[in-house]
Each structure stands twice: as C-alpha cells, then as structure tokens.
Amino acid sequence: MTTKRKTDAQYAAEYIEGVIKQIGGGVITNPLLDDSDPDFPFIGFQVKKGTKTHNVWILRDPEGNGSGHLSIE
C-alpha cells in the first residue's frame, strides 16, 4: 500500500481552514502583549466570536520561535 504525502500547499490550506473555523467572522477586541522576556516580546490580539473569546498569538512557527504563525488559545 502506498501513502501519498501531503504537499506544503495542502498543509497550508488545512492550517488556514482551521484558523478560519476558530476565529473567522469574529471581532478583534483587544491587543495582547507578553513581555515576560523583554528581549523577545510576543504580540497578539483577542477575538470575540459568539460567546467565546480567543487569544491569538503571532509566532514564527508552532514552537513559538518568533512571528509568522498564529497560536489560538
């Protein structure tokens, strides 16, 4: 049995669809700042969607090595 490997574009599409399901259509309500490490602060924003409020952090990658990836709490 052969398993097809997903392409980078397929992984990106799944990631974007996941983000849209969680916060798409919501309203950005507040900025966020985590400056617990003054040399490497993290920024983000809160999104209110229905009765839920999500904290969205802007990271470089899923491990949090900088900016470019959304981490949704």
**Domain limits at 65?**
26-72
In a domain, 6, yes or no: no
Question: What do you get for the CA distance between the two ends of the chain, in Å?
Answer: 38
In a domain, 12, yes or no: no
Neighbours of 57 (CB within 10 A): 17
Task: Please state, in angstroms and as integers, the Cα–Cα distance from residue 50 to each residue in 26, 31, 54, 66, 71, following that order.
Answer: 7, 19, 11, 29, 19
- Our count of domains for the chain comes to 1
Give me the residue label for tokens 């049995």. 1
- Which has more confidence, 72 or 35? 35
In a domain, 66, yes or no: yes
Per-residue pLDDT of 52-70, as tens digits, reads 999 998 877 666 665 567 7
pTM across the whole model: 0.70
In a domain, 18, yes or no: no
